[in-house]
Structure 1
Amino acid sequence: MNRIFFRFFVLVMLSITAATFVIYFAFSRLFGDPLEDIARRQAAAQIFLLEQYVDQAPPDEWLARLNNVRIVSDVRYDLIPLAEARNALPGGRRVQLDNGEIVLDAASRSFYRRVDLEGERYIGSHEEVLRAQNLPVDIDQALKMEALRYVIVAVALLVPIALWSRTHWQGLQSLSRVADEFGSGKLTARALMKPSAAVYPLAERINHMAERIEDLLEAQKSLLHSVSHELRTPIARLEFGLELLDARAKDPDLSKRVRAMEGDLRELNSLVNELLDMSKLDSARNLQAEPVMLAEVLQECTQMLPPAEHTLECRLDEELGELELDRRLLARAVCNLLRNAQKYASGRILLAATRTEGGVEITVDDDGPGIPEEEREKVFEPFYRLDRSRDRATGGFGLGLSIARKAVALHGGSLRADSSPLGGARFVIHLPT
């Protein structure tokens, strides 16, 4: 947000600077260089002496009056050849000099003027130029005055722009906070603004969108919860009926089919339980954070796993310390990752945890077939399973990794899939401290 207004401020400053140069060159083009006008006013006394005293003398007294001015003035007056004066001036000024005008050179604090176009002052004056040097011209002061004028204009423009931008910045900051809260799972977050606020129409639309999303999510959660609970009743009835049928069945084939159907019911019951768990992970309100020793939680996760032929190694940093987290949810996430590793590992699983800058990193590695790079994000989608896991021996429902990512996200962390140094898949949990 700050970057937007910084760019806007830079754009305004550049626009004012560009406008300053455009104004200066436009005025110079139309009305003459303002700096030259200032310098001409500063040299007005010397120009007056030349035009009203020296030029008004008869031809035979012209040089005498010029010498009198030299005596009483600090300005140095010289007669130089016309060619030398033309070489000292740029092309545009030479035309003015040829026309008999006073040509002011503010940079060198001097001016030039031809003595006489017709050569009537004295012999040779037609080819001579009067040069006045050391004029009391201070361009630096003029430049400071011009710069100060433009600074005042810039400040006069920037103050109202800053006040106008400040109201927008505050409004957008408020909307940004609401978006962060809503994105973190606080579905009741709303933008509270006065109707006079600059971004009030945008806030109204965001609030309307948030209400609609909250209603949809609540309806989805309610539907999922209701359906899951409603499924429990027929599942319980089927389990009871199958138990009675199995008890009365004398045919071995029938008993085998009954046991297969009981396995299907257990699978369906497990699916309902996982769906209910998924519905509980949609809001941070279900997070019961408390200070816990992370190493203890991870050790408990290794003990909660079902027996398996794989070798499970546990490498935990001694400096893991305490973290503010929900013990049950984090254990569920890590256990899901370890069970997933048990399904696909060839013979080795590694659970590791280390302190990093700004957090803790937990990794689960296996030496199984791994996950293709293009599917490493898809495996966290609900009900998504890789092709090789669609058989009943390893399949599951495709909810374990999704539940793990949601549980980690509620703690403000992240979960990603990567390739493992063991040759299989690696799952990395990052928890902030």
Structure 2
Amino acid sequence: MNHLFLRFALPVLLAIGLATVVIYLTFARLFGDPFDEIARRQSTGQIFLLEQYIDKAGADEWLVRLNKVREVSGVTFELLPLRATLAALPESKRGQLARGAIVIDAGGKAFYRRVDRDGARYVGSDDDVILARHLPIDIGQALCMEAIRFGVIALFLLVPIGWWSRRHWRELEALSRVADDFGRGDLAVRAAQRPGSIIAPLAVRINDMAGRIGLLLEARKNLLRSVSHELRTPIARLEFGLELLLHRHAPSDPALEQRVRAMATDVDELKALVDELLDLTQLDHAGQMPTRPVALAPLLQGCAPLPSGTRHYSVSIDSDLGEIEGDQRLLARAVNNLLGNAAKYAASRIDLSAARYGASVRVVIEDDGPGIPLDAREKVFDPFFRLAREEDHAAGGYGLGLAIALKAALLHGGDIAIDRSPLGGARFTLTLPIQRGP
């Protein structure tokens, strides 16, 4: 059962229930209690017997006929004082009884009526009331019939609503799948546009939006790819020229030699930046990622060597982490990037731990550095983003390591979260889904 139908069905049922209450209150105010009318219809035979047989008797025969009816009827007929009966009835029904009308007591399965108002039946009959009890009144049956009536109405309303909502729920699910596929990197996916569908205008707009986003992303990829490849040629020329200058034509001036070596260092940094950019653009091609079973514990153990020998590095990796379908190189790159980031900012300590939690593995890397401000924990995964702090300028880098780590995690169905470490610095938690047990 789809959620769209449930959202329609509940208001429809509530509306029918509310309409029933409103109808009852309206009828009760305009025409009297509907339950009394139902009881009156069910007591038609006894009322007819009273009015057309007993009341038709003469003055000396009225009591005789009443007694005959008592002998053969299952209904009990009693004579009660008018004053006592008026005192026992609700105020709303006293006027009816005083006027000589039949007063129904649906709950007591009875009705009241004055014998007469002028004493014509017998002496003192104007001060008596006839009470008929044990009438064949069944309000429960009437309520059951009303419930069946409204149930049938509700059914005939909900069946077309169910058919309509089922059709459109399927279209919404198809639209959701398109959005999911597009979010996973399938830029060619588009929503089906069925003529006459209520969501056809939405599908058209989503397709237009997907087309524009796809063009922008493709242009961005092409720009990064082109720039990265085009930069490699002049960088290679610079490397070659500096190598010749240093080793074949060594400068006689020590200051000039130092300057040339600094330029060589700058070229190496530029080359590393281009390599990072190429890696980032390659991760955009999720469908081309080779996958195979990768044992996580050995992979993490291979990432365990301390990035910098001057810091205390502790490792705690469970042996039963299981396997994940993915690219071993990308997974190792993600962990190494996180370790490298911790090494840049840690004061003296870096901890790496990994444990299994249900169907996933959590790899935690934390340090005792300055940490990451709360408002920047999402932005640090953006390419080229760097915090405007002295520590960040001193640490160097290009702002691409965390972006590459997050993309690698997302390609494997995982994620990376940042919070405060008990050591005082940042704590990165890499979560990966497990496909197989150990």
User: Smaller-chain TM-score range?
Assistant: over 0.9
Unpaired runs of 5+ in structure 2? none
Aligned twin of 2:180 = 180
Query: How far 1:314 sits from its partner (Å)?
Result: 1.9
Query: How far 1:113 sits from its partner (Å)?
Result: 0.5
CA distance in 1, matches of 2:77, 2:396: 105
Query: How far 1:182 sits from its partner (Å)?
Result: 1.3
1:197 aligns with 2:208: no
CA distance in 1, matches of 2:374, 2:308: 30
Aligned twin of 1:367 = 368
State the TM-score, normalizing by the size of structure 2.
0.92
Aligned twin of 1:358 = 359
Specify whether residues 357 and 28 from structure 1 end up closer, same or farther in structure 2 by C-alpha distance, changes over 3 A only.
same
Alignment of 1:303-314 (within 5 A): 303=305, 308-314=309-315
Superimposed CA distance per residue, residues 126-175 of structure 1 (whole angstroms, 9 cap, x where no aligned partner): 22211111112222222211111111111111111111111111111111
What SS class does the counterpart of residue 402 from structure 1 fall into?
Answer: helix
Aligned twin of 1:404 = 405
CA distance in 2, matches of 1:417, 1:137: 73
The answer to whether the Cα contact below 8 Å between 1:110 and 1:131 also exists between their aligned partners in 2 is: yes
State the TM-score, normalizing by the size of structure 1.
0.93
CA distance in 2, matches of 1:156, 1:427: 57
What SS class does the counterpart of residue 303 from structure 2 fall into?
Answer: helix
The answer to whether the Cα contact below 8 Å between 2:360 and 2:431 also exists between their aligned partners in 1 is: yes
Query: How far 1:3 sits from its partner (Å)?
Result: 4.4
What SS class does the counterpart of residue 304 from structure 2 fall into?
Answer: helix
Q: Which amino acid aligns with 1:169?
A: W
CA distance in 2, matches of 1:375, 1:215: 29
CA distance in 2, matches of 1:306, 1:106: 90
CA-based RMSD:
2.0
Aligned twin of 1:254 = 256
Aligned twin of 1:427 = 428
Aligned twin of 1:26 = 26
What SS class does the counterpart of residue 292 from structure 1 fall into?
Answer: strand
What SS class does the counterpart of residue 61 from structure 2 fall into?
Answer: helix
Instruction: Name the % identity.
Output: 57
Bigger drift between 49-58 and 24-33 goes to 24-33
Matched length: 431
Aligned twin of 1:319 = 320
Q: Which amino acid aligns with 1:249?
A: P
Q: Which runs of 4+ in 1 moved over 6 A?
A: none
CA distance in 2, matches of 1:420, 1:275: 30
CA distance in 1, matches of 2:157, 2:51: 44
CA distance in 1, matches of 2:417, 2:140: 65
Query: How far 1:236 sits from its partner (Å)?
Result: 2.2
Superimposed CA distance per residue, residues 246-280 of structure 1 (whole angstroms, 9 cap, x where no aligned partner): 43522111111111122112111211111111112
The answer to whether the Cα contact below 8 Å between 2:307 and 2:339 also exists between their aligned partners in 1 is: no
CA distance in 2, matches of 1:431, 1:107: 68
Unpaired runs of 5+ in structure 1? none
CA distance in 1, matches of 2:421, 2:29: 72
What SS class does the counterpart of residue 385 from structure 2 fall into?
Answer: coil
Alignment of 1:112-127 (within 5 A): 112-127=112-127
1:146 aligns with 2:164: no
Query: How far 1:306 sits from its partner (Å)?
Result: 5.2
Query: How far 1:291 sits from its partner (Å)?
Result: 0.3
Alignment of 1:18-417 (within 5 A): 18-246=18-246, 247-303=249-305, 308-386=309-387, 387-391=389-393, 393-417=394-418
The answer to whether the Cα contact below 8 Å between 1:35 and 1:143 also exists between their aligned partners in 2 is: no
Query: How far 1:406 sits from its partner (Å)?
Result: 1.1
CA distance in 2, matches of 1:138, 1:312: 85
CA distance in 2, matches of 1:322, 1:232: 37
Bigger drift between 57-66 and 402-411 goes to 57-66
